[in-house]
Copies of this chain bind each other. A is one copy, B any other.
Amino acid sequence: MKLFKVPEPTIMRLSLYSRVLEQMEERGIPVISSVELGDAVGINSGVVRKDLSMFGEFGVRGVGYNVRELRDNIRRLLGQDRTWPIVVIGAGQLGSALAAYPGFRQRGFDITALVDVDAAKIGTDVQGIPVLSWDEATNMIQEKEIKMAILAVPAEDVQATAQKLVDLGIEAILNFSPVILKLASVQVQNVDLTVFF
């Protein structure tokens, strides 16, 4: 167990392990070896062991890892053992799809509301998630102390919208608009959906 500094690639992989363990847990499999876990995510078993060993000794030699225990530990490490409220800005096609994406809830993100400027959308809902005006959203963000936002607005509105969010106390922004967003003092993750091909 080192814990001096955890490599970023390791953190990304923890996310993958978490998903596999979830499935194993559902299927009632009690124990998994590093080889099996590695195969499931498509990497070498040594990587799995090294990754896990950075946080503690979760395994049993000669046996493997207890699925539920390991899952719980990884969840805790990733901050997935609690629920994080988030807002989605932009109730267009992409924003609505992201709000409905089941993965967020599965990982402990609670999409509290969508926000839009279009009066025709305000007051409606997307699979039970309400679409709010900025006035309503401002109250909610401050009341519920929401710190994270997903941005899915037209390219030309991104920078101004992001600044508004920062002023409201948002600390992490996941930007899906096809524009590189830059902000000081806030954690910004730009996601270019086309970059993966």
Contact = CB atoms under 8 A, between A and B. Distances in A.
A121 B151 CA distance: 28
A93 B196 CA distance: 20
Interface of A: 12, 15-16, 19-20, 40-42, 84, 93-94, 96-98, 100-104, 106-107, 109, 148, 155, 172, 174, 178-180, 182, 189, 191-197
Q: Which of A93, A96, A104, A107 has the most CB of B within 10 A?
A: A93
B98 A182 contact: no
A180 B20 contact: yes
Contact of A109 (B40, B96, B197): B197
Contact of A96 (B40, B97, B106, B196): B97
B192 A15 contact: yes
A192 B93 contact: no
A77 to B, nearest CB: 14
